[in-house]
């Protein structure tokens, strides 16, 4: 503040006033007011043309002096879907186009926020993104407007796609890869292409990939007797080192599956052993990968039964696993068990016969939609005399028995298993498209003198379980009859779904984009032609 002495002469004496005025205010416009000497008033008013004696304390409507400050309003933000497990805040910049000033805001979690400094009403503004945690795409609605009239900006973040893929090269070398795909870009862009160490020479790498809301768990077979695991963050950066889930002695491990429980993962597999065949599980800590408890048999091990193709889900209170069972005499069934920490409890038993043939029920796919447990599986049909005639995809809503028929394929594309003593089956995979609809993809396998593979999908109405129209992809999209190893995932916020698959004909990994209307939304090549060959591919998409 600056102290200014202002003298004003009137009548025959001088009155000295000390006025405190801001440094930016001069006294060039100061004016002396003539005061009636006979007045008994003790209050005097002095004016410099701009200020009253006590400064600008009035209003602009003719009140006691001064001008009202311009009205201001906050610029508000609502954030949803943001995953900040790498401690990288979402950085925003607000630009006031009227004053050309900027200010920043850093957000670390979902919620409602405001930029620190309000803007003058009527000022135009825009909001832009800075850096934020990768592996997701954030978009903004109402990202520009006018202060005082435009509503809150809405930022929605969506996790990008992650695809685990494994195959054998033409010379038999096992391959394991992990891809990140930005499905919000046009065209889709591959953001990560990681070549991972298998660690051995299994007959099939057979990966599974699970997302628990903060991290991925990738499990695979590093040999036919060892299961390995590795955590990845949302950016597909490895968290710590790989770890061993299980090592068996004199065993051959079949398919490996994993699910996330409330605070742990459970890995389920079947194995063939000299001592006894078994269906087993191991729980692991979701933070460290350390084993929780010991390896446990879902049901008693035995030499009189064989087990295959186990799958597992968490239904909010316990794990459910389903698998094929075959007796030494050739009787087939598909069983479902529930478990938490001990031996499992039988909750579903499916079997079908035609004449003297016990039909093969295999490749179960379990899915929990938040309230209903779904089971889809393949049924290989015969003529009652041992010859395969067709394959049927079956469905059991809430594990009901008997299961219902979804689709039967007989001699698809001229494949003739009956006359050529071939085989035929369907391998399903399930995802939730939105609150009312599931999407099921499946590989249709048919073998005669050669092999035919097709990838297809169809929607399922959750309330009724009724299937919608079927869409076939391989021949129409990529001109191949050797596509397999498919998997499906969806983003329920906008009902977008994606199918990953490998193709032995073009030696590539593809991404199919369903559109739910019986058409195809588009196809992208995730991994182009591999000169070393792709045989027996399997993909898992999350």
> Would you state the pLDDT for residue 150?
97
- Domain range for 125: 72-158
In a domain, 77, yes or no: yes
Within a 10 A sphere around the Cβ of 195, how many other Cβ atoms?
A: 9
CA separation for the pair 117, 197 (Å, rounded): 51
pLDDT higher than 60, residue 40: no
Interval 181-202: pLDDT, tens: 999 888 889 999 999 999 999 9
Lowest mean pLDDT among 174-178, 262-266, 373-377: 262-266
Task: Tell me what pLDDT residue 5 has.
Answer: 34
Residue 28 domain flag: no
Confidence tier at 411 by pLDDT (50, 70, 90): confident
329 and 263 within one domain = yes
Among 16-25, 213-222, 312-321, 525-534, which stretch is predicted with the lowest mean pLDDT?
16-25
Res 234 pLDDT > 50: yes
Q: How far apart are CA 443 and CA 207, in angstroms?
A: 17
Residues 104 and 182 occupy one common structural domain: no
Single residue among 142, 158, 174 that ends a domain in this structure: 158
What's the pLDDT at 8? 40
- Kindly report the CATH number assigned to the domain that includes residue 208: 2.130.10.10
**Structural domain includes residue 277:** yes
Q: Is residue 187 reached through a cis peptide bond, with omega within 30 degrees of 0 on the bond before it?
A: yes
Residues with Cβ within 8 Å of 352's Cβ and at least 6 positions away in sequence, in order, are 358, 359, 361, 379
Average pLDDT of the chain, as a whole number: 87
Same domain flag for 221 and 285:
yes
Q: Are 270 and 310 in contact (CB under 8 A)?
A: yes
Asked if residue 371 and residue 353 are part of one domain, the reply reads yes
Boundary of a domain, candidates 158, 186, 203: 158
Looking at the structure, tell me whether residues 171 and 150 fall in a common domain. Answer: no
**Beta bridge partner(s), residue 228:** 220, 244
pLDDT digits (tens, 9 = 90+) for 439-490: 999 999 987 656 788 999 999 999 999 999 999 998 888 888 889 999 999 9
Residue predicted with more confidence, 292 or 41: 292
- 507 and 175 in contact (C-beta within 8 Å)? no
Question: pLDDT for 79-122, tens place per residue?
Answer: 999 999 888 999 999 999 999 999 999 999 999 999 999 999 99
User: pLDDT tens digit string along 57-68?
Assistant: 444 444 445 577
* 154 and 169 fall within a common domain: no
What pLDDT band is residue 27 in, cutting at 50, 70 and 90?
very low
Same domain for 370 and 355:
yes
Cα separation, 535 vs 533, in Å, equals 6
Query: What percent of the chain has a predicted confidence (pLDDT) above 90?
Result: 75
pLDDT for res 86: 80
Examine the fold and report which residue of 138, 158, 178 is the final residue of a domain before the chain moves on.
158
Q: Could you give the CA distance from residue 199 to residue 121 in angstroms, rounded to a whole number?
A: 63
Distance, in Å, from the CA atom of 433 to the CA atom of 456, rounded to the nearest integer, reads 16
Q: How confident is the model at residue 44 (pLDDT cuts 50, 70, 90)?
A: very low
> 86 and 207: one domain?
no
Count of domains in the chain?
Answer: 2
Note whether residue 41 is domain-resident.
Answer: no
Give the per-residue pLDDT at 60: 42
For residue 345, tell me if it sits in a domain: yes
86 in a domain, yes or no?
A: yes
Render 125-164 in DSSP notation, one character per residue.
EEEEE----SSEEEEEES-EEETTTS--EEEEEEEPEEEE
Same domain, 201 and 302: yes
Rounded CA gap, 327 and 310, in Å? 16
Reduced 3-state DSSP string for 315-359: CCCCEEEEEEEEECCCCEEEEEEEECCCCCEEEEEECCEECCEEC
Q: Is 240 part of a structural domain of the chain? A: yes
DSSP state of 68: P
Paired with 442 in beta bridges are 428, 456
pLDDT at 448: 67
Torsion-angle region of residue 53: left (phi > 0), alpha (psi -120 to 50) or beta? alpha
* 146 and 165, same domain (yes or no): no
Considering the domain architecture, whether residues 262 and 336 belong to the same structural domain is answered as yes
Average pLDDT over residues 407-433: 87
35 domain-assigned: no
CATH number at residue 92: 2.60.40.3050
Domain identity same for 327 and 472:
yes
pLDDT recorded at residue 184: 87
Query: Residue 164 above 90 pLDDT?
Result: yes
Report whether pLDDT(371) > 70. Answer: yes
Tell me which of 493 and 502 has the higher pLDDT.
Answer: 502
């Amino acid at each position: 503040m600056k102290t200014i002495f202002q003298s004003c002469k009137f009548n025959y004496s001088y009155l000295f006033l000390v006025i405190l005025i801001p440094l930016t205010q001069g006294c060039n416009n100061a004016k002396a007011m003539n005061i009636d000497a006979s007045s008994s008033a003790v209050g005097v008013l002095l004016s410099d043309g701009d200020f009253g004696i006590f400064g600008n304390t009035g209003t602009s409507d003719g009140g006691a002096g001064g001008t009202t400050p311009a009205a201001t309003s906050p610029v508000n933000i609502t954030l949803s879907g943001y995953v900040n497990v790498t401690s990288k805040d979402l950085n925003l910049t607000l630009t006031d186009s009227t004053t050309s000033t900027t200010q920043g805001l850093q957000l670390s979690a979902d919620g409602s926020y405001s930029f620190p400094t309000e803007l003058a009403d009527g000022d135009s503004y825009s909001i832009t993104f800075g850096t934020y945690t990768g592996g997701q795409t954030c978009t903004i609605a109402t990202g520009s407007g006018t202060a005082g009239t435009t509503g809150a900006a809405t930022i929605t973040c969506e996790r990008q796609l992650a695809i685990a893929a494994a195959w054998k090269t033409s010379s038999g070398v096992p391959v394991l890869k992990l891809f990140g795909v930005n499905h919000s870009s046009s065209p889709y862009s591959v953001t990560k292409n990681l070549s991972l160490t298998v660690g051995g020479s299994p007959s099939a790498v057979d990966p599974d990939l699970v997302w628990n809301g903060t991290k991925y768990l990738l499990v695979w077979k590093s040999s036919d007797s060892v299961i390995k695991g590795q955590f990845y963050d949302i950016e597909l950066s490895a968290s710590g080192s790989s770890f061993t889930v299980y090592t068996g002695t004199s065993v051959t491990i079949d398919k490996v599956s994993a699910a996330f429980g409330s605070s742990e993962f459970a890995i389920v597999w079947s194995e063939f052993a000299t001592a006894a065949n078994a269906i087993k599980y191991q729980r692991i800590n979701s933070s460290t990968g350390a084993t929780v408890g010991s390896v446990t048999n879902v049901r008693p091990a035995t030499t009189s039964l064989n087990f295959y193709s186990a799958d597992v889900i968490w239904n909010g209170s316990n794990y459910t696993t389903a698998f094929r069972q075959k007796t030494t005499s050739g009787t087939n069934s598909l069983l479902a068990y529930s478990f938490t920490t001990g031996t499992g409890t039988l909750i579903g038993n499916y079997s079908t016969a035609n004449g003297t043939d016990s039909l093969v029920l295999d490749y179960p796919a379990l899915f929990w939609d938040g309230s209903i447990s779904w089971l889809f599986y393949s049924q290989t049909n015969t003529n009652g005399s041992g010859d395969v005639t067709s394959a049927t995809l079956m469905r059991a809503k809430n594990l009901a028995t008997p299961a219902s028929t979804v689709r039967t394929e007989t001699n698809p594309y001229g494949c003739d298993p009956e006359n050529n003593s071939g085989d035929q089956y369907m391998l399903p995979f399930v995802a939730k498209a939105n609150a009312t609809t599931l999407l099921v993809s499946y590989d249709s396998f048919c073998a005669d003198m050669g092999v035919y593979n097709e990838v297809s999908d169809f929607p399922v109405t959750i309330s009724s379980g009724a299937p919608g129209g079927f869409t076939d992809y391989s021949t129409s999209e990529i001109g191949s009859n050797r596509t397999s190893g498919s998997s499906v995932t969806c983003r329920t916020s906008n009902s977008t779904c994606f199918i990953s698959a490998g193709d032995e004909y073009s030696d590539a990994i593809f991404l199919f984009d369903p559109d739910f209307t019986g058409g195809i939304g588009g196809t992208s090549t995730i991994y182009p032609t591999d000169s070393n060959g792709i045989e027996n591919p399997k993909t898992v998409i999350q």
